[in-house]
């Protein structure tokens, strides 16, 4: 049985405490009036905000007062534009701590969700190499419960107008936006939260039921639990593919409700899948370094690193396909998404591509390097950092515009959720033996060599 070391436990508590402090500072320092917002921007040397003097995605969606005729627009260009721009600036700065919290909450939740998909695939494929890693995967997916609850609470608070992350949740915005009026049947707070509850319920139910069957199989004298786990895993993957796609539209793409991409669900899936596999590898290597999982060998780590390499290439393929097709077609409604990111987020936007593609390719292409634990850990840290920046690039431009900055709220949110993730996952690992006993493929997994 695994024992949660006091050093790691105390470290997780310290991370959570520092994170709560950083998150609190972010909310306390957020402006409450337009004058305070202007003062904050001025104190940062006008920030990014006045660099354009132009409308961004959220202004188009309704934060800017629109005129009904060209004549009225000319008259309103003065005071009305200035006041609406000031109000929009206030909303952006008020969104900063919320967006930082949401990015970190979703990032760590998506790691657990990516591991859940990988686990279900291994179960449905009846893979022979991976059963030794099932307890690690089950430990990581335990985070779905607290992580999912926190994400749902943030979504619910957004629907109750505690922030301006989802502009379509504001009835006044929708009233002045014909496109959002056409989407109101789908993008409305009640239906949005119902979908979120269904998705979270389905993912958590599968995790808990599959875990129960996995533990029962250890004490069983036949393979009935294993076979049932196989069947529900195959069925769950159908639900997962549908729910994950819709979740990505709802929770991420709808922060910019005028923009859409038909492969966005796959793009988000690739990000969460490679992040989840990376964490499986890192947790496994840590446990081995502490003397656990003695039957896990270099070939298991090699296969995990192969997935890290391969899914990084898959993510890059999807990123380039989305970017190239939108750039080539040059349709104004589509290219605004990338123009905003290239102009205002150049470093995190292109830095993310380097971290998620160039770095894994250069580090993990060589087969021998995939067997070096410290090398896999180093590559994993970069991959996780890159995919945090991926989520950052998805959320921030549409919620805080060009007022972004990686500061105390962003760092604090990452520290808090990292601490919570570590505490919850490693506590879950103490509840059952780290090696399954009666999985039909356990001997094949034990003697796996590549």
Rounded Cα distance, 109 and 204, in Å? 12
CB 17 within 8 A of CB 373: no
pLDDT tens, N- to C-terminus, the chain (450 residues): 889 999 999 999 999 999 999 999 999 988 878 887 778 777 765 444 443 333 343 444 444 333 343 444 444 444 555 667 777 778 788 889 999 999 999 999 999 999 999 999 999 999 999 999 999 999 999 999 999 999 999 999 999 989 889 999 988 889 888 999 999 999 999 999 999 999 999 999 999 999 999 999 998 888 999 999 999 999 999 999 999 999 999 999 999 999 989 899 999 999 999 999 999 999 999 999 999 999 999 999 999 999 999 999 999 999 999 999 999 998 888 899 999 999 999 999 999 999 999 988 888 888 888 888 899 999 999 999 999 999 999 999 989 888 788 889 999 999 999 999 999 999 999 999 999 988 899 999 999 887
- The number of CA neighbours under 13 Å toward the Cβ of 206 is 27
Tokens 């190499």 -> residue: 129
Residue 387's CB is within 10 A of a number of other CB atoms, namely 26
166-187 residues labelled b (16+ CB within 10 A) or e (exposed): bbbbbeebbeebeebeebeeeb
Rounded Cα distance, 425 and 2, in Å? 12
Torsion, Cα 175 181 186 188, to 10 degrees, reads 0
Q: What is the pTM of this model?
A: 0.89
CB 307 within 8 A of CB 277: yes
The radius of gyration computed from the CA coordinates of the chain, to the nearest angstrom, equals 23
């Amino acid at each position: 049985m695994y024992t949660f070391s006091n050093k790691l436990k105390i470290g997780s508590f310290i991370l959570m405490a520092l994170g709560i402090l950083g998150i609190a500072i972010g909310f306390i320092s957020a402006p409450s009036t337009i004058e305070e917002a202007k003062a904050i921007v001025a104190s940062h040397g006008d920030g990014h905000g006045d660099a354009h003097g132009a409308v961004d995605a959220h202004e188009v969606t309704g934060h800017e007062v629109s005129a009904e005729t060209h004549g009225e627009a000319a008259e309103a260009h003065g005071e009305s534009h200035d006041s609406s721009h000031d109000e929009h600036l206030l909303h952006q700065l008020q969104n900063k701590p919320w967006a930082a919290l949401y990015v970190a909450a979703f990032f760590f939740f998506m790691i657990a969700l990516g591991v859940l998909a990988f686990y279900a695939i291994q179960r449905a494929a009846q893979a022979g190499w991976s059963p030794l890693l099932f307890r690690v995967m089950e430990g990581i997916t335990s985070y779905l419960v607290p992580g999912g609850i926190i994400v749902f609470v943030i979504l619910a608070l957004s629907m109750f107008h505690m922030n301006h992350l989802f502009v379509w949740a504001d009835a006044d915005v929708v009233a002045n936006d014909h496109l959002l009026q056409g989407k109101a049947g789908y993008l409305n707070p009640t239906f949005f939260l119902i979908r979120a509850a269904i998705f979270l319920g389905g993912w958590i139910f599968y995790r808990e039921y599959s875990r129960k069957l996995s533990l029962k199989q250890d004490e069983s004298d036949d393979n009935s639990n294993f076979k049932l786990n196989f069947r529900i895993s195959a069925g769950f993957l159908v639900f997962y593919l549908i729910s994950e796609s819709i979740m990505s539209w709802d929770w991420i793409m709808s922060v910019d409700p005028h923009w859409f991409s038909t492969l966005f669900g796959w793009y988000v899936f690739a990000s969460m899948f490679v992040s989840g596999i990376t964490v499986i590898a890192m947790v496994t290597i840590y446990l081995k370094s502490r003397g656990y999982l003695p039957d896990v060998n270099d070939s298991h780590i090699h296969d995990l690193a192969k997935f890290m390499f391969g899914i990084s290439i898959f993510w890059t393929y999807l990123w380039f396909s989305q970017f190239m097709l939108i750039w080539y077609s040059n349709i104004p409604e589509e290219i605004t998404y990338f123009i905003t990111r290239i102009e205002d987020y150049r470093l995190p936007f292109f830095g993310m591509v380097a971290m998620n593609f160039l770095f894994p390719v250069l580090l993990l292409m060589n087969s021998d390097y995939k067997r070096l634990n410290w090398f896999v850990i180093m590559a994993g840290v970069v991959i996780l950092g890159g995919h945090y920046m991926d989520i950052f690039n998805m959320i921030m431009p549409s919620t805080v515009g060009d007022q972004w900055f990686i500061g105390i709220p962003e760092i604090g949110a990452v520290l808090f959720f990292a601490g919570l993730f570590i505490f919850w996952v490693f506590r879950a690992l103490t509840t059952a033996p780290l090696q399954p006993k009666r999985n039909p493929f356990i001997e094949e997994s034990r003697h796996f060599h590549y």
